[in-house]
Amino acid sequence: MKKFICVLLPIILVILVTIYFVFSNSKEITLKKLNYNSEAISKINDFDIYDIVVKEKYSKTLEMSLLSDEFNSKYVNDYIKINYVDSINFIEYVNKLLDIGYSYIEINMIHDKLENDSIKYILENNYIDNLEQYLSLVYFKSENLVRYIDYSKKNNSDVVDTVTYVNMDLDYDFYTNIKEVEKPDDLLVTVNKYNQLPSDYEPSNLVLIDSSCSTGNNYIRSEAKIPFETLCNDIKKEGLFVKAMSTYRSYKTQNSIYNGYVNRNGVEEADTYSARPGHSEHQTGLAIDVMNNTTSYTNFGSTKEYKWMQENAHKYGFILSYPSDKVSITGYVSEPWHYRYVGVELATYLHENNLTLDEYMARQV
C-alpha cells in the first residue's frame, strides 16, 4: 500500500502542476484575446482581478492604470467602464475624480463635455451636485461651468433655468457685458440689455403697413407685413380693433426717446420701461406696439383685444416680448402692447411652452 501511495503522489503532483500551467496559460490566452498586453496581464494576475476583468471588454483605461503607479484596486470596475483619454496624468485625474465621488458615467461626460480649465475647476472643488444633469443639456457650455455653479448657489435655481439664464448673461447686471449683434438681419435676432444693434443698422426691406391697420406711417420688415395685416383684419371679424401705433425706430429716434425718459424720471426708472439706443427691438423692424380704438395703448392690457391677442397672436407669428411673469428675465415692466414677429412655427412653440425668444435662443446649440 505504501508503495502504491509513493507511486501515486508524484503522478497527482504532476497532474496538478499540469492543470495549473494549463489554467494559467488559458487565462493568459483569454486576456490576450481581449487585447491586453503581457505586462498588463501579469499585473492582472498579481492583483488577482482576472475574474472581474474577463467579464468585460478590453479597457485601455484599465490597462494604462495597471501600467502606471496610480493603480487603485478598489476602482477596477470603474476603470473598466471609463473611456480612455490620451492626456498627461489621465489616470491621476481619474483617481481624483473617483475620490471626490464622481461615477464612471459622470467622468466619461466630464472628459467628453468639458475643456481643461473646467476639469481643473472640478478637480479643485468638492462634488458638484447635478453635474450629470448639467452635462446632459445639449446647450450646456463648458466655458460657463463656474458661472452656472455660482448662479445656482446664489439663486437656488434648477439646472435648466440656471443654464438658460447664464447663457442669456443674466448672471451679469443689465447693460454690462454688452455684445454687438453680428447678424442684425436674422429673423430671430436677439436684442436685449446685453445685445446691441449697430448704431447705423436699418433693415433693408422695410415696408409701409396698410393705413387700415396703422395709426400713421408705420414701417415694418416685409416678412411681418402680411401676417400683421391679416391679424388686423381677422380681429375685426370678432368686433374688435387692433392697429399698429409704433413700429420701426432708428437708433437716433430711440436715443431721443430714451433720453427724454431719463430727463423726466432718471436712468434707473427709465431702464425699467424704455430700451437704451441700440437695445430696442423696434430697431429690428420686427416689433409692433399696438392699441385699440377706445383707450390709450398703456391700458391695452385691460382690453378685450389684449385677451384675443393672448390667445391668437402666435397663430400669425407674433409673440408678446415683455410678459408680466418674465420681468426678471427681460428687465422691462410688462408691456401688453409690444409684439415681436418670429414666424408662426416658433411663435406657437414659445406660446405653448411659456418662453420668451431670449430663453429659446439661450437653449440653441
Active site residues: 335
Report the distance separating Cα 329 and Cα 359, nearest Å. Answer: 9
In DSSP terms, 338 is beta-bridged to 289
Contacts 24+ apart (CB under 8 A), 318-326: 318/227, 318/228, 318/231, 318/288, 318/342, 318/347, 319/347, 319/350, 319/351, 319/356, 319/357, 321/281, 321/287, 321/356, 321/357, 323/356, 325/354, 326/356
Report the distance separating Cα 40 and Cα 92, nearest Å. Answer: 18
> Which residues lie closer than 8 Å to 184 by C-beta, 6 or more apart?
197, 198, 201, 203, 284
Q: Closest Cα to residue 221, out of 209, 213, 235? A: 209
Report the distance separating Cα 227 and Cα 94, nearest Å. Answer: 56
> What are the two backbone dihedrals, phi and then psi, of residue 314, each rounded to the nearest 5 degrees?
-65, -25
**Are 78 and 108 contacting, i.e. CB atoms less than 8 angstroms apart?**
no
Q: Which residue has the cell 491586453?
A: 36
Helices then strands, each counted (H, E), the chain: 18, 8
Using alpha carbons only, what angle is made at residue 260 by residues 257 and 263, rounded to the nearest 5 degrees?
Answer: 155
**Are 104 and 84 contacting, i.e. CB atoms less than 8 angstroms apart?**
no
267: number of Cβ within 10 Å: 12
The Cβ-side half-sphere exposure at 11, using a 13 Å CA radius, reads 6
Q: Closest Cα to residue 313, out of 282, 339, 352? A: 339
